[in-house]
Amino acid sequence: MGLSLQTEIAGLKLKNPILSASGCFGYGEEATEFFDINQLGGMVTKSITPLPRTGHPPPKVVETASGMLNAIGLTNVGLDRFIMEKLPFLQKLSCTVIVNIAGSTVNDYTMLAGKISSLEGVDAIEVNISCPNVDSGGLEFGASPAEAAKVIRAVKKASRVPVIPKLSPNVTDIVAVAKAVEDAGADAVSLINTLVGTAIDIQTTRFKLSNRFGGLSGPAVKPVALAMVYKVASAVKIPVIGVGGISSGDDVVEFLMAGAKAVQIGTACFAEPTVFLRVIDELSTYLKKNNYQNVNDIIGAVKDG
């Protein structure tokens, strides 16, 4: 019997547990000059908002020790252009396609979920609840269990496909948020989104990012992400997708052992666009070397030291 990397998230069968994270290569076309996306378990698009967004002015990205800060500002083509210009490519893919949505009001989310989930080729929706809630004075929807649940409950009613909230680490208790969205009907959760950070140019005395603050990602956030994945996976019954600082097969093994059923890779692909394929090979090598026949055998396998 051969090695199986197949896993399942919310009824979606993935050929392997490796997905691209939202924002790492737009709507997928950008990656085609480097590798075949269909080799992945799935891909997640960058966030789609109701109307086009130009995002924040430059500088938008700053390199940090063991990571990077980004303040892109959800730059995207908007719903209408996504459907006309980007969807046709996604519809040709054989891997799982997850469309990430973002909004400023609950109505934004429900409108997006209703329209996008009805499109052929969309297998699931990832809900970015780290966006400012204009109805609540600009606080993130994901900052409180009640606000997060309100969005997911509405999205779940509007969606025809599985709903996957992407949880923010910038909260006091991420487990409480995870439980709230589970109760609201979420089919799975992905975590973590980026950590809030900043950087200052001491020569000019100015912030290095035009927006002052950005999202920290890369290897620096991996221990935080791993801890949060373990806590959430131990507390909810729905599948967990681990995100944050993953750049090797060993990293993937850690997240799976912590309880994740799949992972997303983002920042690492900026320096190494084909990182996904290397990671899949390294994961396979680990499993074979340690006499596992199925990747699911290591999910949640971590023990106390």
d(CA 244, CA 190): 10
64 within some domain:
no
Give this prediction's pTM.
Answer: 0.97
* pLDDT for 300: 98
Q: Which residues of 75-97 are buried (b: 16+ CB within 10 A; e: fewer)?
A: bbbebeebeeebbeebeebebbb
Closest CA to 72 of 274, 275, 245, 217: 217
86 within some domain:
yes
Mean local confidence (pLDDT), 222-234: 99
120 within some domain:
yes
98 within some domain:
yes
Tens of pLDDT along 109-150? 999 999 999 999 999 999 999 876 667 765 689 999 999 999
Whether 220 has a pLDDT exceeding 90, the answer reads yes
Mean local confidence (pLDDT), 255-283: 98
209 within some domain:
no
**CB atoms inside a 10 Å sphere around CB 31:** 20
Q: Which of 24, 95, 131, 269 is catalytic?
A: 131
139 within some domain:
yes
Tens of pLDDT along 290-303? 999 999 999 999 99
Domain that holds residue 33: 7-56+72-196+215-298
Q: What is the CATH number of the domain that holds 224?
A: 3.20.20.70
Nearest-5° angle of CA 113, CA 84, CA 112? 10
Respond yes or no: is residue 95 known to be catalytic. no
202 within some domain:
no
Total domain count, the chain: 1
230 within some domain:
yes
